[in-house]
């Protein structure tokens, strides 16, 4: 407990890997991730049985699958946290290349499962969404490029990362998957800002995003339908947003009681995109605030630890991963309360979904690996030495 409050001491040379890992890992963030996964299983027990019954499965079919994929995600996370930053970067480059090729192949070999967007590969026993694995790989690769551009006679990494970012956005928009496109753009913008991007360039990028959104609204029926539904002053109570809004209102402060919620009977995505509505209805505002606090702790502690990091690559990659993790959670909950248009985005570690769970485990594993305490002077020591 002392280490959790005051921070871990740097690892001694030659120390065994497990004691070194336990000494240097951010235990608060690790604990919050485990609590989020446990909360997801708890909510899955409430949200998924009605869907399983409608699809002819056993009552806890989706809960068992969530536990299985979640276990794989936790294993992937723990293994990744034990790697050195150099090894994480190398594996991230390989994973990025594989997932990028998979995304490019979606128009030819992918399927939409009747949802209007070709985002998945059907594997028979399940499905694979390559864009989920693309995000953490892109963040690490882009951070590497941007950090390399800061070296003397370094490559034009900022421009290279921007071209790569826009290429990915184009392929994601073709699915169409505008939610993931926005996350990729956001992650690049955050890293570029931390690297010292001029404000004018970021404002120009924001204007380009608005122009792209206008173009998508005019040319994509899928995108326009979601925007029109969001902007409409009248909320149809028979839509997913209508059911979710009503469930959140019914939940109040303490909820209607465990197993007493009704939204899971009507929402087809109650166990995925709208899991927070189930939490709000059955457990009330108390559980929702608890979930928000867990995400806030992970993001805040990661950013604080990264502020002390001397390696620019680790600062950039860690910031991109932490901010994208937090923003994805904000988007999911914002959609449920109708602050944002529907995006089809999962709540990290809480929503059901094999690809999202495993990819998020890898992503947070990278973040925890980058924020481990290392035997080095802090960046403030360098700044003091320059005075």
What pLDDT was estimated at residue 343?
Answer: 72
Q: What is the pTM of this model?
A: 0.88
Contact present, 66 and 40 (Cβ < 8 Å) = yes
Q: Using one digit for the tens of pLDDT, what is the confidence trace for 119-137? A: 889 887 778 999 999 999 9
What pLDDT was estimated at residue 344?
Answer: 73
Going by pLDDT thresholds of 50, 70 and 90, the confidence category of residue 5 is: very low
Contact present, 376 and 11 (Cβ < 8 Å) = no
Cα–Cα dist 93/225, whole Å: 36
What pLDDT was estimated at residue 2?
Answer: 40
Share of the chain above pLDDT 90, in %: 46
Distance from chain centroid for Cα 205: 22
What pLDDT was estimated at residue 90?
Answer: 96
Sequence ranges of the domains in the chain = 15-373
Q: Token pair for residue 242?
A: 């209508």
Cα–Cα dist 139/363, whole Å: 10
Nearest in space to 36 (alpha carbons), one of 318, 372, 248, 326:
326
Q: Using one digit for the tens of pLDDT, what is the confidence trace for 188-230? A: 999 999 988 777 777 877 787 787 777 777 776 766 776 766 6
Going by pLDDT thresholds of 50, 70 and 90, the confidence category of residue 315 is: very high
What pLDDT was estimated at residue 287?
Answer: 94
DSSP 122: E
Cα–Cα dist 95/111, whole Å: 22
Residue 272 has pLDDT above 60, yes or no: yes
Choice among 9-13, 64-68, 188-192, 323-327 with the minimum mean pLDDT = 9-13
Share of the chain above pLDDT 70, in %: 88
- Average pLDDT score over residue span 159-187: 90
Per-residue CA distances from 335 to 229, 276, 292, 328 (Å): 12, 10, 15, 11
Going by pLDDT thresholds of 50, 70 and 90, the confidence category of residue 186 is: very high
- Average pLDDT score over residue span 157-183: 90
Cα–Cα dist 58/116, whole Å: 28
- Average pLDDT score over residue span 74-103: 96
Residue 380 has pLDDT above 70, yes or no: no
Q: Using one digit for the tens of pLDDT, what is the confidence trace for 24-60? A: 999 999 999 999 999 999 998 888 888 888 888 898 8
Cα–Cα dist 371/242, whole Å: 41
What pLDDT was estimated at residue 8?
Answer: 46
Cβ neighbours of residue 192 closer than 8 Å, sequence gap 6 or more: 146, 158, 161, 162, 201, 202
Cβ neighbours of residue 146 closer than 8 Å, sequence gap 6 or more: 157, 158, 161, 191, 192, 195, 316
What pLDDT was estimated at residue 199?
Answer: 74
Radius of gyration (C-alpha) of the chain in whole angstroms: 21
Contact present, 332 and 346 (Cβ < 8 Å) = yes
pLDDT top residue among 253 and 383: 253
């Amino acid at each position: 407990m002392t280490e959790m409050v005051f921070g871990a001491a740097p690892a001694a040379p030659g120390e065994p890997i497990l004691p070194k890992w336990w000494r240097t890992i951010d235990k608060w963030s690790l604990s919050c991730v485990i609590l989020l996964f446990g909360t997801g299983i708890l909510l899955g027990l409430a949200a998924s049985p009605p869907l399983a019954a409608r699809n002819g499965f056993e009552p806890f079919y989706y809960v068992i699958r969530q536990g299985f994929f979640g276990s794989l995600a936790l294993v992937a996370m723990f293994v990744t946290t034990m790697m050195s930053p150099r090894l994480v970067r190398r594996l991230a480059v390989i994973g990025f290349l594989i997932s990028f090729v998979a995304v490019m192949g979606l128009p030819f070999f992918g399927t939409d499962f009747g949802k209007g967007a070709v985002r998945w590969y059907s594997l028979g026993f399940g499905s694979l969404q390559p864009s989920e694995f693309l995000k953490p790989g892109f963040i690490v690769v882009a951070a590497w490029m941007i950090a390399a551009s800061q070296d003397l006679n370094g490559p034009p990494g900022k421009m290279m990362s921007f071209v790569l970012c826009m290429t990915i956005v184009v392929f994601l928009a073709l699915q169409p998957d505008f939610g993931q496109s926005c996350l990729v753009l956001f992650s690049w913008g955050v890293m570029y800002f931390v690297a010292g991007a001029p404000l004018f360039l970021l404002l120009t990028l924001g204007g380009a995003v608005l122009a792209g959104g206008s173009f998508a609204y005019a040319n994509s029926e899928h995108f326009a339908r979601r925007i029109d539904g969001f902007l409409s002053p009248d909320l149809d109570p028979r839509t997913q947003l209508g059911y979710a809004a009503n469930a959140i209102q019914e939940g109040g402060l303490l909820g209607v009681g465990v197993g007493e919620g009704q939204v899971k009977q009507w929402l087809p995505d109650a166990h995925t995109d709208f899991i927070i509505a189930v939490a709000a209805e059955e457990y009330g505002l108390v559980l929702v605030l608890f979930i928000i606090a867990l995400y806030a702790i992970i993001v805040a502690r990661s950013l604080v630890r990264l502020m002390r990091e001397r390696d620019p690559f680790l600062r950039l990659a860690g910031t991109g991963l932490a901010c994208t993790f937090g923003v994805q959670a904000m988007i999911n909950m914002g959609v449920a309360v109708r602050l944002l248009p529907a995006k089809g985005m999962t709540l990290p570690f809480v929503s059901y979904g094999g690809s999202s769970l495993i990819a998020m485990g890898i992503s947070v594993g990278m973040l925890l690996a980058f924020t481990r305490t290392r035997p080095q002077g802090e960046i403030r020591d360098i700044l003091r030495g320059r005075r």
